[in-house]
């Protein structure tokens, strides 16, 4: 099984697309920066998701959002319009989480992810059902089997 976890900033607002079979999905780019501050390198990944996760991404994710993406990677190589060989890395997201400060997430339009369990502070129902999580702990004490 191939699985990848990446964190980065959304480079462009999510765009709805349709597969040849009519299924809708959402794509967006993610900038992943690595290396020390004086010698950083940024790689651009193409992220795609479908179903309820895609609906939630379309609603909450904006350019600049800082996300943690879990998914399956695939490498693609093709010849672009200028005749040059191009390689890209696409991640089919199975789980997406907002990361970073609460203020930044709210500025980007993210839901309240404080998870302080006070009434009214639960994440949106679509986020709970789709595998798309707001920032905060993902495990509760009752979830640990020992």
- Note the pTM of the prediction, 2 decimals: 0.65
Evaluated on CA atoms 66, 72, 78, 81, the torsion sign reads negative
Characterize the bridge pairing of strands 85-98 and 41-50: parallel
Q: Could you read off the pLDDT of 26-65 as tens digits, one per residue?
A: 999 999 999 998 999 999 999 999 988 888 898 899 999 9
User: Rounded distance, CA 142 to CA 38, Å?
Assistant: 44
User: Tokens representing 110?
Assistant: 């993210």
- 3-class state of residue 135 by DSSP: coil
Q: Say which CATH class 4-137 falls into.
A: mainly beta
Is the confidence at residue 127, as pLDDT, over 80?
no
User: Rounded distance, CA 35 to CA 19, Å?
Assistant: 36
């Amino acid at each position: 099984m191939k699985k990848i976890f990446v964190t980065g900033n959304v480079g462009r607002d999510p765009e709805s697309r349709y597969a040849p079979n009519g299924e809708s999905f959402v794509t967006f780019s993610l900038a992943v920066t690595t290396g020390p501050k004086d010698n950083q390198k940024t790689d651009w990944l193409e992220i795609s998701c479908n179903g309820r996760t895609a609906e939630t991404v379309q609603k909450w994710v904006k350019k600049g959002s800082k996300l943690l993406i879990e998914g399956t990677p695939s490498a693609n190589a093709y010849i672009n319009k200028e005749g040059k060989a191009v390689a890209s890395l696409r991640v089919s997201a199975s789980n997406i989480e907002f990361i970073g400060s609460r203020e930044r997430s709210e500025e980007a339009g993210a839901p309240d992810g404080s998870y302080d369990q006070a009434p009214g502070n639960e994440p949106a129902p679509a986020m709970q059902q789709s595998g798309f999580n707001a920032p905060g702990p993902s495990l509760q004490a009752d979830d640990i089997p020992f």
